[in-house]
Amino acid sequence: MRADRLVAVLLLMQSRGRVTAAEVAEELEVSVATARRDLEALSTAGIPVYPQSGRGGGWSLLGGARTDLSGLTATEAQALFLLVGPAAAVAPEAKAALRKLVRALPDTFRPTAEAAANAVVIDPATWGDPDRQRPVHLGSLQSAVIHRRQVHITYQDRRRLVDPWGLIDKHQVWYLIAGTPNGRRTFRLDRVTGVEPTDLPGDRPDDFDLAQAWDEVVAEMEQRRSTVAATVLIEERYVRVLRDQFGRHCEVEAIEPDGRARVRVAAHMPIGIAQHLAGWGALVEVVDSEPVKAELARLGTELVARYVSG
What pLDDT, in 10s, does the model give residues 87-139? 555 445 555 555 556 555 556 656 666 666 566 666 655 555 555 577 888 88
Say if residue 16 is in the same domain as residue 37.
yes
How many domains is the chain built from?
A: 3
Residues recorded for the chain: 310
The candidate with the shortest Cα–Cα distance to 226, out of 185, 273, 186, is: 273
- Which of 118, 137, 153 is the last residue in one of the domains? 118
Say if residue 211 is in the same domain as residue 231.
no
pTM (2 decimals)?
A: 0.50
Domain that includes residue 180, residue range: 123-217
Q: How far is CA 18 from CA 13, 61, 215, 233, in A?
A: 6, 7, 42, 52
Cβ–Cβ under 8 Å, residues 213 and 199: no
The one-letter amino acid at 106: P
Say if residue 12 is in the same domain as residue 113.
yes
Question: What was the pLDDT predicted at 195?
Answer: 94
What average pLDDT does the segment 231-250 reach? 88
Question: What was the pLDDT predicted at 115?
Answer: 67
Q: Which of 16-25, 47-56, 99-108, 110-119 has the highest mean pLDDT?
A: 16-25
Say if residue 206 is in the same domain as residue 235.
no
What pLDDT, in 10s, does the model give residues 271-293? 989 999 999 998 999 999 899 99
Share the mean pLDDT of the chain. Answer: 78
